[in-house]
């Protein structure tokens, strides 16, 4: 049984909003695609609170919910494992978002409307409600990608993206090893350099009301330096990666 659409959603210590978010997106899928196979894939990244207990309870209540529990590997690792799970299901389209209740499902339609024009479509947090550390990192990465690759992407790491399943498989096959800190950035760069129009569609971004921001645990400069080094090293591989994706 193949799926028209799978939503990939990493989760870490989101006990205060996970039920609301799961019901929001699973109900959205039922209303939007009543006659198609769809699922929400939540990857619990070793949460230390009651997120796992709540997800296991929801699994018995929500038919279009898939739950994966894993040891804590970080947001990027959870996203990668979610993508792999979606591809294993034979998903025609894969949409990725976060579990922190900072996005609204209505904005999905803005990306879905462009699905026949591009294999890789990104949202863009025009007004972003995040801690200063995250805003700085986004600006830093935007400048780094522009400088190293000559490619401008408004929000390369945004967790609000729609990807054609067959194209995602090509991207995943070319994802650098070992797995980078922020794999979504590399997927965005490879997609853009292979000729895809990302569109960078403005979407709503809400204040975070619950949970914790994992990036704050990292030292700002460590994150920036690690990302810069990974992107710089990847420059030497990019041309061959793009050729493989286009093949």
Q: Give the fold, CATH level 3, of 5-246.
A: Spore Coat Polysaccharide Biosynthesis Protein SpsA; Chain A (3.90.550)
pTM value? 0.92
> Among residues 142, 158, 154, 169, which one has the least CA distance to residue 228?
142
Structure-block tokens of residue 214: 């994992």
pLDDT of residue 42: 98
- If 0-12 CB within 10 Å is exposed, 13-18 middle and 19+ buried, where does residue 235 land? exposed
- Beta-carbon contacts of 213 under 8 Å, excluding residues fewer than 6 positions away, are 130, 131, 134
Category of 105 on φ-ψ map: left (φ > 0), alpha (ψ -120 to 50) or beta: alpha
Q: Which residue has the higher pLDDT, 137 or 188?
A: 188
Is a pLDDT exceeding 80 seen at residue 25? yes
Contact 125, 155 (CB under 8 A): yes
Average predicted confidence (pLDDT) for the chain: 92
Residue 46 · residue 12 · CB < 8 Å? yes
Whether 111 has a pLDDT exceeding 60, the answer reads: yes
């Amino acid at each position: 049984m193949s799926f028209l659409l799978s939503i990939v959603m990493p989760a870490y210590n989101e006990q205060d909003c996970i039920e609301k978010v799961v019901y929001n997106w699973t109900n959205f899928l039922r209303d939007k695609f009543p006659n198609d196979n769809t699922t929400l894939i939540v990857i619990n990244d070793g949460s230390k609170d009651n997120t796992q207990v709540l997800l296991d309870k929801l699994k018995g209540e929500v038919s279009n919910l898939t739950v994966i529990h894993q040891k804590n590997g970080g947001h990027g690792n959870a996203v990668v494992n979610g993508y792999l799970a979606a591809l294993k299901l034979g998903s025609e389209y894969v949409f990725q978002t976060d579990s922190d209740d900072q996005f609204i499902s209505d904005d999905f339609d803005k990306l879905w409307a462009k699905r026949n024009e591009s294999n890789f479509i990104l949202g863009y947090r025009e007004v972003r409600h995040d801690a200063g550390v995250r805003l700085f990192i986004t600006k830093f990465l935007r400048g780094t990608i522009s400088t190293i690759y000559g490619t401008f992407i408004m929000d390369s790491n945004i967790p609000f993206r729609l990807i054609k399943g067959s194209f995602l498989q090509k991207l995943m096959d070319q994802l650098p090893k070992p797995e980078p800190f922020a794999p979504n950035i590399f997927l965005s760069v490879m997609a853009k350099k292979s000729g895809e129009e990302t569109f960078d569609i403005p979407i709503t971004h809400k204040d975070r009301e619950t949970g914790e921001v994992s990036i704050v645990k990292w030292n700002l400069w460590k994150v920036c330096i690690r990302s810069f080094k990974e992107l710089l090293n990847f420059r030497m591989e990019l041309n061959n990666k793009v050729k493989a994706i286009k093949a």
